[in-house]
Amino acid sequence: MRSAMSEEIAPRPPQLLRGRRMLTCADCGWVHYAMTATEKADGDRALERYNLTPAERVAYESAFHQCLRCESPVSEFRDACESDLARAANHLVTPVLIDDV
């Protein structure tokens, strides 16, 4: 497993995310990737069995439009630069839903 680990900490986004639009929170620097409407719909379907309350659903939806860490709105994000991506290799890159993908 050692070789797999060193692959993971390489300073670039995971293979899955290559070619994606990456966005950085202007406030705290957390890196997110832009998810597609299709992926969002898949997530929604996966969630259906949990029977969320209306309040929980609002929280779930808003999570896709703000920074995971500091809750800044997606409208405050900027495109990620190389150093952002290098830093992102050390944390979980989380999805956000933006309208103009």
Binding site for Zn ion (CB under 5 A): 25, 27-28, 30, 67, 69-70, 72
Nearer to Zn ion, 20 or 30 (CB): 30
> CB-based burial of residue 19 (10 Å sphere; 0-12 exposed, 13-18 middle, 19+ buried)?
exposed
Compute the least distance from the CB of residue 42 to Zn ion, in Å: 25
Nearer to Zn ion, 29 or 52 (CB): 29
Nearer to Zn ion, 89 or 94 (CB): 94
Structure-token match 């103009």, residue found: 100
CB atoms within 10 A of CB 24: 21
Compute the least distance from the CB of residue 91 to Zn ion, in Å: 12
Compute the least distance from the CB of residue 76 to Zn ion, in Å: 8
